[in-house]
Amino acid sequence: MENVFSHHISGISFMTQLSLLRVTVRRLKFQLLAHRWWDEQGEYSALHSMNDIRVPFIRDTVLNMGNTYQRGSPLSGIKILDVGCGGGLLSEPLGRLGASVTGIDPLEENIRVADQHKSFDPVLAKRIQYKSSSLEEIVEESVEMFDVIVASEVVEHVADLEMFIKCCCQVLKPGGSLFVTTINKTQLSYILGIVVAEKIAGIVPEGTHDWEKFVPPEELEQLLEANGFSVKTVNGILYNPLTGSWSWIESTSINYALHAVKSGSQAETSQTEPLSEMESEQCSATAGTNV
């Protein structure tokens, strides 16, 4: 009998198909919760409070890289891609800082919620655009268009992490920044991130995460460095469910935030070596929802 693990359909391995199926199941769960994005006491309360550290992290890092500061709009002139934007929880504060933000998410329900919420603020309505699309579609339309890419609570959901990184590199300008927040793959992260957060405390909906897809910072750094990025910062972050707040810590054993910069040499590679058709197809499955 033919080994099932070596069996391929349409050029995609069985294991890749299984991974894509798991991503699809999680998307369906996110779809059911789409209307709850802006409930600060609901399922996404931890993401609301995460803005207290991830927004300054992005803002200060971008400003420290030499961009001209404009009072009241420190990120004015900066083009940001928010991958897996969900209901726009991170896109909106970045827009308020003056950035031009494009938020993408594969779920139309999430985009409808995000569009509706930004419409309450005329300033944000001009600075933010949302698209129900895959990262692959952004690659086709927006090669080297963005100064900053944010993938917050996304990489632990993607079907193919290396393809996700390649797609990000394609749309990022040379010298542009990639910001990631995600969960380490440790015994402690399983206990706190799965057992406590999902099954006991209900901080996030049960089934949101798959521990097997959690990403150690060392693995993420290696993939980034191998695909034209230079990793600048890796910091640990910790959520306190009692206070509902996040803080910076030295340990990266649970959650962590990472900043990487696209090198100029990769820009040359991206111009001469575009993604193959199969890579683009796999990329289209990686624009998950940040949760």
**Could you give the maximum distance between any two Cα atoms of the chain, in Å?**
68
Distance CA 8, CA 17 (A): 9
Output the six-digit token pair for 87: 């209901």
Distance CA 65, CA 81 (A): 18
Distance CA 59, CA 71 (A): 13
Give the pLDDT score at 257.
Answer: 98
- Alpha-carbon Rg for the chain, nearest whole angstrom, is 18
- Own/partner long-range contacts of 240-248 (Cβ < 8 Å, ≥24 apart): 241/196, 241/197, 241/201, 241/203, 244/45, 244/46, 244/49, 245/49, 245/52, 246/46, 246/49, 246/50, 246/52, 246/53, 247/53, 248/53
140 in a known ligand binding site: no
Taking the C-alpha atoms of 78, 79, 85 and 89 in order, what is their torsion angle to the nearest 10 degrees? 30
105 in a known ligand binding site: yes
Give the pLDDT score at 19.
Answer: 57
Distance CA 35, CA 275 (A): 35
Q: Is the dihedral of CA 240, 245, 248, 253 positive or negative?
A: positive
Residue 233 bridge partners (DSSP): 259
115 in a known ligand binding site: no
**Nearest alpha-carbon partner for 140 in 167, 177, 109, 118:** 167
109 in a known ligand binding site: no
Give the pLDDT score at 36.
Answer: 87
Domains of the chain: which residue ranges? Answer: 15-262
54 in a known ligand binding site: yes
Check residue 47 and give left, alpha or beta (phi > 0: left; psi -120 to 50: alpha): alpha
Q: How does strand 172-183 pair with strand 255-262? A: antiparallel
22 in a known ligand binding site: no
Q: How does strand 229-240 pair with strand 172-183? A: unpaired
16: amino acid identity, one letter: T
Output the CATH code of domain 15-262: 3.40.50.150
Distance CA 189, CA 71 (A): 40
Q: Are 108 and 131 in contact (CB under 8 A)?
A: no
Tell me the pLDDT of the chain (291 aa) as tens digits.
444 333 344 455 665 565 555 555 555 555 545 678 999 998 899 999 999 999 999 999 999 987 666 777 999 999 999 999 999 999 999 999 999 999 999 999 999 999 999 999 999 999 999 999 989 888 988 999 999 999 999 999 998 999 999 999 999 999 999 999 999 999 999 898 888 888 888 787 777 789 899 999 999 999 999 999 999 999 999 999 999 999 999 999 999 999 999 998 433 333 334 444 444 444 444 444 554
210 in a known ligand binding site: no
